[in-house]
Amino acid sequence: MGELRDAERTRKRIMEAARDEFAARGFAGARIESIAKRAGLSKQLLYHYFSSKAVLFEETLESKYRQHRATVQDEDGPGALFVRRFRVACQDPVWMRCLIWEAAEHKESGRIIAEKARRESIARQAGVIAEGQANGDLPADLPADLIQLAAYALAVYPFGFSQVTEMITGRSPEDPVFQAHWTTFLSELGRRLAKA
């Protein structure tokens, strides 16, 4: 039993080290040697648990996605669509960085981690938008897919382009003051959009 727990702990240390390395450098820039060093292990032991960098990357992002899905909270009101996405980004900036790296490297790799589950989540969100349009909470004359894309863009942009966010607002997207102001803005934007 102790051996099993040790294996689980070792695997967890590798995944945590990989998460940090991939978030900092992306798939192409990450090095197995660096991940092993971060985990306090030899490269050979890391390969005992994960057969390749690609396998480790996929498992790390899939794990991060599952964790991310568990943190999503429901919000009410016309601004909920925008605020919810931003709160998710605030709760997990490492996931945001991983998504940004995935996007930057997607053209070459063609890889979308946890694609099926993510497509299902996007479809559920599209259903919420369609329901909001049918109920008159969102403008029915705007394309639902573009409303959804706008919600993602408004949530992720401050983290994806933190330098621009800081130049414009004078604050980091991880600063609680910025997050409070941006959340208020998103809520008001949703309220005004609902009245349009």
Rounded to 10 deg, the angle between the 93-109 and 2-29 helix axes is 60
Asked if pLDDT for residue 110 goes beyond 90, the answer is: no
The pLDDT mean for the chain works out to 84
Q: What digits encode the pLDDT tens for the residues 40-96?
A: 999 999 999 999 888 888 888 788 777 766 555 555 666 777 888 888 888 877 777
Q: State how far the Cα of 62 lies from the Cα of 151, in Å rounded to an integer.
A: 23
Instruction: Report the predicted TM-score, pTM, of the whole model to 2 decimal places.
Output: 0.72
Q: State how far the Cα of 196 lies from the Cα of 178, in Å rounded to an integer.
A: 27
Contact, 76 vs 129, CB < 8 A? no
Asked if pLDDT for residue 196 goes beyond 70, the answer is: no
